[in-house]
Amino acid sequence: MTANWHVRPEDQDRLRAELAALDARLHELDQRLWEAIHRQRYSRTPEDIVRAADDLKHLVTEMDRLMTRSRAVEGKLLLLQKLAPKPADPGRNPGASSSDASERLAVEVYREPPGTKMNG
């Protein structure tokens, strides 16, 4: 499987802001998660315990979604960091275009075949 991410240098500020917002939201959800855990453990009525368990399920689902998006944003920021212009290399042709093969970055995601030690 190969993943292609399209990022432009001008996306960097937007991605950093999005990552900060995701982090703040994750912190908020973490606080709510702990509150739900305490409600589930220490509630006196079965209804409150069931409601807390339901809240936990929804909070974990939302946290998983946000963490997945956060990893994607971090990956894009890392790509931008790798693609950032480097100080002039005396051995490099200054007139070469950025489409040279040496300037391209391919992102590939590999999965182990089924039945290997990694997957069981």
The average confidence (pLDDT) of the chain is 81
Length of the chain: 120
pLDDT exceeds 90 at position 104? no
Tens digits of residue pLDDT in 20-49? 999 999 999 999 999 999 999 999 999 999
Reading phi first (left if > 0) and then psi (alpha if -120 to 50, else beta), residue 87 is in beta
Confidence band, pLDDT 50/70/90 cuts, at residue 83: confident
pTM score = 0.65
Q: Coil, strand or helix: which one is 68?
A: helix
User: What pLDDT, on the 0 to 100 scale, is given for residue 100?
Assistant: 47
Cβ contact 77:100 at 8 Å: no
Contact 33, 63 (CB under 8 A): yes
**Percentage above 90 pLDDT, the chain:** 56
